[in-house]
């Protein structure tokens, strides 16, 4: 298999899975981003020699191709990162990439992550939890964000009191609960974790210091410095904290931890992304490349971490050899 990049021929026979399905799309606001991540993962897996097939998820229904041995989850947001699809795959006994259902739910829920950070002594910006109709009494500038959402949907930096109403209205479009969080001035950095290997720190130099949706997904809009130009002590602390966050939330396989770095050198954890993007502007592939891991090898390493919490994975895999598996729309 001379076309395989970064994978020795001897390693191909060591793989647990070869016939894999890439789940992409889904019902969330991040559907289009998921399709892009999934398409990239599909190319990477095929480049490594996997018999990979795309499965575009619409709603909460999907069918795995006959003989599927494992699943690469490229679903972002609702149904993908909230533990729902993981619980379904656990019940089917189908191994999958990334964290299990419980850790995925915790990482997706910004309130749960805040509580986990504070319980483990991990610095995070101060916050208040709002329900619809609440009147925030919170010092500005502040960041408004839905509790369970990703890719900066519904996230706003509020600098003036006149901006708060519109920011809350948009955030509540995505969730019934919203966090208002202290804005930490300074720099934004992120650290990926790949099968417990901590990757180089990436600095995100966004326009006006705000890494919103357009800055994330418009090529050329944001500069990325990898490895970030940081003092060694801060770099090492960011990597240490990234693994501490990964463990505090019970994550497995892969994750990406986002920080704000204050002018005084303090690191504040914002969140962990349990299914980091794999698009042309995504951060995990940039960090992996800086660590000498080509994109196709990154996909292979992710696939090798696939596992599930199903009780009878072996018999379920045998049943899949002769027929496809369909998941009906959840009631």
User: Would you name the residues annotated as active-site residues?
Assistant: 30, 151, 217, 256, 258, 271, 273, 277
Could you give the CA distance from residue 97 to residue 41 in angstroms, rounded to a whole number?
Answer: 12
What one-character DSSP code corresponds to residue 14? T
Pairing of the two strands 202-205 and 223-225: antiparallel
Q: Which token pair is 295?
A: 């994109």
- Token output for 5: 């990049």
DSSP 58: B
User: What is each CA distance from 298 to 11, 80, 247, 286, 292, in whole angstroms?
Assistant: 14, 20, 21, 11, 10
Cβ contact 316:92 at 8 Å: yes
Strands (E), the chain: 19-25, 51-57, 62-64, 70-73, 127-131, 142-146, 156-158, 177-182, 187-194, 197-198, 202-205, 223-225, 254-261, 267-273, 325-327
Residue 18, judged by CB atoms within 10 A of its CB (0-12, 13-18, 19+), counts as middle
| 130, 178 contact by CB (below 8 A) | yes
Task: Collapse the DSSP code of 2 into the 3-class scheme (helix H, G, I; strand E, B; otherwise coil) and give the result.
Answer: coil
């Amino acid at each position: 298999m001379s076309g395989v990049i970064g994978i020795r021929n001897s390693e191909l026979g060591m793989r647990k899975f070869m016939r894999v399905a890439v789940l992409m799309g889904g019902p969330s606001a991040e559907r289009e981003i998921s399709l892009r991540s999934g398409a990239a993962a599909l190319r990477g897996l095929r480049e490594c020699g996997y018999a990979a097939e795309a499965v575009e998820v619409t709603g909460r229904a999907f069918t795995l191709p006959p003989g599927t041995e494992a699943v690469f989850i490229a679903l972002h947001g609702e149904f993908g990162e909230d533990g729902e699809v993981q619980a379904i795959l656990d019940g089917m006994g189908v191994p999958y990439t990334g964290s299990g259902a419980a850790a995925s739910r915790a990482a997706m829920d910004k309130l749960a992550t805040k509580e986990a950070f504070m319980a483990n002594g991990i610095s995070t910006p101060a916050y208040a939890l709002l329900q619809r109709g609440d009147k925030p009494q919170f010092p500005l500038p502040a960041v408004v964000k839905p509790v369970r959402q990703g890719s900066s949907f519904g996230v706003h930096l509020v600098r003036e009191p006149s901006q708060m109403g519109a920011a809350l209205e948009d955030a509540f479009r995505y969730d019934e609960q919203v966090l208002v969080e202290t804005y930490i001035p300074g720099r934004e950095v992120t650290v990926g974790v790949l099968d417990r290997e901590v990757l180089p720190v990436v600095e995100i130099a966004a326009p006006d210091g705000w890494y919103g949706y357009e800055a994330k997904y418009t090529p050329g809009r944001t500069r990325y410095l990898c490895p970030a130009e940081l003092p060694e002590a801060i770099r090492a602390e960011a990597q240490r904290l990234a693994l501490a966050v990964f463990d505090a939330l019970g994550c497995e396989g892969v994750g990406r931890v986002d920080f704000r770095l204050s002018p005084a050198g303090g690191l504040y954890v914002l969140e962990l992304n349990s299914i980091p993007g794999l698009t042309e502007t995504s951060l995990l592939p940039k960090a992996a490349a800086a660590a000498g891991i080509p994109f196709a090898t990154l996909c292979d390493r992710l696939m090798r971490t696939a596992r599930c919490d199903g009780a009878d994975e072996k018999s379920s895999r045998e049943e899949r050899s002769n027929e496809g598996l369909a998941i009906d729309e959840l009631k």
